[in-house]
Amino acid sequence: MKIVDLRTHIVWTSPERSWLFVELEADNGLVGLGEASQSRNDAGVVEEVRQLRSQYLGENPLDLIERRRALLDWPYNGRTLFAAVSALEQALWDICGKQLGVPVYQLLGGRAIDRVRAYANIGYAAKSSEPESIASVARQAIEQGFEAVKLYPFGMRPGSATTDTARKRRWLDEGVEVIRAVRTAVGPDTAVLIDLMHQFDDAKEVRDLLRRLEACDLFWVEDPFVRDDPAQLAELRGTIGPRLAGGAPHLSRHDWRPLLESRALDVVMPDVKWMGGISQVRQLAAMAETYGAAVSPHNASGPVATAASVHVAVTMSNFLILEYAWGVPMWRSALTRQTERIDAGHFPLPTGPGLGVAIDSGVASQHADRPELVAESGIRLPRN
């Protein structure tokens, strides 16, 4: 078996957001899928994939997974390269599983758990930032069987907090109102997770905020500070009730070492699309276990990265919960030909060969390179 073609496909889910998929095709007709979404630079990732073609074409995918990991050690190893290599690595696992007729998690050594608990990230589905709107979306996710929801109570744009005292107080009050509204809407038995989106500088300010929210019984607090300073995070972690989660922007597993050694986080959030793929996430999970940290893969992703995250999560003894981008786009199930399954807020143990997810090319083409969305987003993409 040899790789004979490598393709990229961009699917727009909104004017601001897109999914970038990579396909590896072998000479026996098998196709492996990977995902490199949310690098914030799809055009750059497409170019990285193009430049990597010669490293993959003509090779046996069964031999490449470990060998191509060395690409992450190149002198230039920014996010676009990591995203490209991550997608290609997922596609290699997918095609190898299909060739051997087994799910990817079995190639990784087998399951540690029987199903994968998920939380609904409702941050992209709410039609407004009003507490009632966000609470309504949270309620809908719970009605669909999810037992946990995550929201962005202070907005989704880092730096949106103002230095003006009066405006900042209103900003904080509005966020607190959103969290309280969601807790009321979902009831006491649902886990409520909040992402602070790197918007705070001061640990005291975060502690004061969480004291106001003690009655909400938060499951975790994610990414509070503008910078992931290990000492600052470790100090905060020792003084708050909810779990402290974060770290998704980190690429190489070596970048995680100071956070783990400082015991800065209760929950680490590696992203299979960003840090090199399935193998790298699994290796980080092993590192995290050594330091007593749980793993919750960052996964505000499309269906291919979600499938990859499910397979690697199944193999983790320290897995906690998996992110799922709930409610957007409405045609997600049509894109995957209903191969993406969630039952009562859990992904069941995968059974199909490879990653077990399929993409409907017809649905994908309906949402690819749409001129009006490209114009609105300001992104220019080359034809693949």
Bigger pLDDT: 253 vs 265: 265
Farthest CA pair distance, the chain: 65
Instruction: Based on the fold, state whether residues 86 and 113 are members of the same structural domain.
Output: no
| 107 — pLDDT class (breaks 50, 70, 90) | very high
Instruction: Please give the pLDDT value at position 373.
Output: 41
What's the sign of the alpha-carbon dihedral 298, 304, 310, 315? negative
For 252-277, letters b (16+ CB in 10 Å) and e give ebeebeebbebebbbbbbbbbbbbbb
Look at 75-79, 94-98, 188-192 and tell me which has the smallest mean pLDDT.
75-79
Q: Tell me: the pLDDT tens digits for 281-322?
A: 999 999 999 999 999 999 999 999 999 999 999 999 999 999
In a domain, 213, yes or no: yes
- 278, 342, 344, 332: which is closest to 302 by C-alpha? 332
Mean pLDDT, rounded, of the chain: 92
Average pLDDT over residues 365-377: 59
In a domain, 183, yes or no: yes
Instruction: Based on the fold, state whether residues 76 and 126 are members of the same structural domain.
Output: no
Average pLDDT over residues 134-156: 96
In a domain, 354, yes or no: no
Domain that holds residue 32: 3-102+360-377
CA 41, 77, 297: angle at the middle one, nearest 5?
70
Instruction: Based on the fold, state whether residues 112 and 24 are members of the same structural domain.
Output: no
The gap between the terminal CA atoms of the chain, to the nearest Å, is 24
Average pLDDT over residues 112-137: 95
Average pLDDT over residues 364-383: 53
Instruction: Based on the fold, state whether residues 37 and 127 are members of the same structural domain.
Output: no
- 252, 315, 357, 367: which is closest to 35 by C-alpha? 357
Q: Tell me: the pLDDT tens digits for 324-351?
A: 999 999 999 999 999 999 999 999 999 9
In a domain, 260, yes or no: yes
Token pair, residue 16, equals: 């601001």
Average pLDDT over residues 111-122: 98
Average pLDDT over residues 231-247: 97
Helix (H) or strand (E) holding 246: strand 243-246
Instruction: Please give the pLDDT value at position 376.
Output: 38
Instruction: Based on the fold, state whether residues 343 and 230 are members of the same structural domain.
Output: yes
Question: Percent of the chain beyond pLDDT 70?
Answer: 93
Q: Tell me: the pLDDT tens digits for 274-285?
A: 999 999 999 999
Total domains in the chain come to: 2
Instruction: Based on the fold, state whether residues 238 and 157 are members of the same structural domain.
Output: yes
Q: Tell me, what CATH number does 193's domain have? A: 3.20.20.120
Instruction: Please give the pLDDT value at position 371.
Output: 43
Instruction: Please give the pLDDT value at position 156.
Output: 72
Q: Tell me, what CATH number does 368's domain have? A: 3.30.390.10
Instruction: Please give the pLDDT value at position 40.
Output: 79
Average pLDDT over residues 37-43: 85
Instruction: Based on the fold, state whether residues 111 and 157 are members of the same structural domain.
Output: yes
Dihedral Cα 102, 106, 107, 108, nearest 10 deg: 160
In a domain, 383, yes or no: no
CB hemisphere CA count around 270 (13 angstroms):
36
Instruction: Based on the fold, state whether residues 286 and 219 are members of the same structural domain.
Output: yes
- 149, 152, 222: which is closest to 187 by C-alpha? 149
Instruction: Based on the fold, state whether residues 67 and 163 are members of the same structural domain.
Output: no
